[in-house]
Structure 1
């Protein structure tokens, strides 16, 4: 009976001694914290957190980079959690387990924290350089042609949740490091096929032509001509005529005089050097299952003319072989033409020397075979075109206008 009372007295004194302190055998991250109060443990780890202030975390997406310090994200030990956990050892669970913990040894693993809101703000700011809103479709039809068109296009958004999770992986323990961010696709709410019933729903093909160095008058003519082709619809089975769609090319229809080649001379005249109506015409037959929409636009900043064809793809694929060049001929000597509009002694180059040559390239168009009779043996493809284009380029001399005006 006396021993029992002695044990009870010991336990009472023990509990009173550790009423607001962690029990003696408790460690946190290998550091003995027994006998300390919660506040003392918190203060200790807050001091240790100073070592994490200079950590640097680099977030990258493609060629974009942003860095933030451990100090701004308040990276470090979760001192409050560690203090609370240490204090609860021996004070929770069943009586037998609690008694063992009071006098046994327990080593708590480190817990780390960061300012979640600060990281979210940082990622949100960085996302301004990354996020691309989805493009909603637009289709307006008037007077037999499409007057306004914008295809739908998916956007992208920074995967903020994944970025946050990947950052957290650098905190066990906290070390400087790099996080490669990813994006998720953002679909348009209004798709191209939703705004028309003509089968115009996807890009079939695109072509670009550069005109850097062209005089302002030619840039004007290119812009004017492209505007007259923009928005044209080619119905299924219809043969599109470039010359017919373009119409008359003259001063009467808004074109400015530009340099053309006439009778082997480069002169200012109405028209364009690459329009040969009515002798030569570009014709395109729409043999696809839906309408084809022509979109033409001019990027004057980058000096490029862009044509896009939209419709319904039948999965055809065009391949162009490697060009072959032979029988190259050097350009003739430079040619000087007297020009009374330029002051005497001033020359202006209006054309550049080019070698002549014979050239050829192979062109093939295929699509998945619709039935066995159209497919090549074992190929599963229907050949729509398979031909070789040949051109004979004449050598061309550099041409200068030579001023004669006194």
Structure 2
């Protein structure tokens, strides 16, 4: 099995009760790819048209066709725009298409009333336009249906007068079905495609994922604070230092007190949970093929970090996670978390390379039984109350092989070795009277 995790994106639409019209709201972040004329989804009769992918921006695409005119045909009010994009370093565009559908019976009533825009239709139109991307968003990498690309989501400027005229023209045409939202212009964001193009950042190099299900609220807080340091972060230089990117771990920088591994016990400490971030970053850069300069695995196998053997612990100021940046250019990090799945994901992007990296399945070379349960007195808990803070794990020696391939042939490989000590279940036992 190749350990190279990537984010899977799903397609979503949100039904709004606006006079039987249905509006799709893009989820950002994570980025939800826009409509793909080549991959349409089946739609209910009165649903807004919206499709889940983005077509290959390097190939010309045709716009979706309006249905043939018929009795009680719906009224389709569509906005179309092309956003600037970079695909493998080449400038192109990706389409943005969204449609408000007025059901056939209601459209027929509007035509019978003279084909003018009524107060209720104006309200629906205004609400629909309000959901459009009117404000620009900084360019960043997005995973489209056919791979990663930098997308510059410009803000759309809508000409409402011409839009109303388009709608009225269609309503007064017995064969009319398709009206258009008129885009008068686009407003670029502060960070454009040139930010990436000028630095040669064009390729997805690696993705790391971990699961933090079962974490305490304090641990989740620290995971999120640490991950924000890797959200849309440019890293230049020949060394990537985790501690340097994250900065000081203290309450002044947003971290809270949580459980940390301190010697042979688990104790409270500021930033407990930050190793979830360092482990995810380790997997990201290890899968990207960067050489390891400094890395230490945890003392024991931590249940959050399956598969074992691919973790990296840090402890400021003495213990860091470091990689050499041998890409010949800058690195760009993006990161985020899925609260529903308790999944943390971090990606790294850089210059285009002519080889791929494959991380094999961890192999357990030998193992030793877990230790007996350990009870630790805790004056913060009521007398006799017991709280489990750690879970038993066997000791193990685990190896992982990383291979570098060019034109299908392995030209280099290395082996990562991790040694874990056996660990007990640990319970805090209250002593407070």
TM-score normalised by L of structure 2 = 0.48
Larger radius of gyration: 1
How far apart are the structure 2 equivalents of 1:119 and 1:312?
Answer: 56
User: Compared with structure 1, are the counterparts of its residues 259 and 121 closer, same or farther at alpha carbon in structure 2 (3 Å cutoff)?
Assistant: farther
* Correspondence 1:358-397 to 2 at 5 A: 358-368=397-407, 383=411, 385-397=412-424
Where in structure 1 are there 5+ consecutive unaligned residues?
1-60, 69-114, 139-146, 157-188, 369-378
After TM superposition, the structure 1 = structure 2 runs for residues 127-142 of structure 1, keeping only pairs within 5 Å, are none
Larger mean CA deviation between 193-202 and 249-258 belongs to 193-202
**Alpha-carbon spacing, 1:220–1:195, altered in 2? closer, same or farther (3 Å):** same
Q: How far off its partner does 1:403 sit?
A: 2.1
Per-residue CA deviation, residues 297-346 of structure 1 (Å, 9 max, x unaligned), is 23333222211112222132111223221322221122222222222342
Q: Distance in 2 between matches of 1:261 and 1:268?
A: 9
Counterpart for residue 220 of structure 1: 221
Change (3 A) 1:220 1:116: same
Task: State the 1:357 CA deviation.
Answer: 1.4
**Of residues 367, 374, 379 in structure 2, which corresponds to 1:340?**
379
Q: How many residues align?
A: 243
- How large is the Cα RMSD of the aligned pairs? 4.0
**Distance in 1 between the 2:394 and 2:422 partners?**
5
SS in 2 for 1:224: helix
Matches within 5 A, 1:7-406: 116-117=68-69, 148-151=138-141, 154=144, 193=193, 196=196, 197-235=198-236, 238-272=238-272, 274-368=313-407, 383=411, 385-406=412-433
Counterpart Cα distance in 2 of 1:269 and 1:152: 36
Kept in 2: contact 1:234–1:286 (CA 8 A): no
| Cα offset, 1:285, TM superposition | 2.6
In the aligned structure 1, how far is the partner of 2:386 from the partner of 2:41? Answer: 48
The whole-number CA distance in structure 1 between the counterparts of 2:42 and 2:267 is 53
The normalised TM-score by structure 1 is 0.50
Distance in 2 of aligned mates of 1:342 and 1:136 = 58
Whole-angstrom CA distance in 2 between matches of 1:120 and 1:382 = 63
Q: Secondary structure at the match of 2:213?
A: coil
Cα 1:277/1:137, change in 2 over 3 Å: farther
Using the alignment, how far apart are the partners of 1:330 and 1:63 within structure 2? 54
Partners of 1:221 and 1:285 in 2: how far apart?
26
CA distance in 2, matches of 1:223, 1:250: 14
| Contact persistence 1:348–1:402 (CA under 8 A) | yes
Deviation at 1:366, TM superposition (A): 3.1
Contact 2:331/2:348 (CA < 8 Å) preserved in 1? yes
Equivalent residue of 2:357, what SS? strand
How far apart are the structure 2 equivalents of 1:296 and 1:192?
19
Structure 1 residue 382: Cα displacement: 7.3
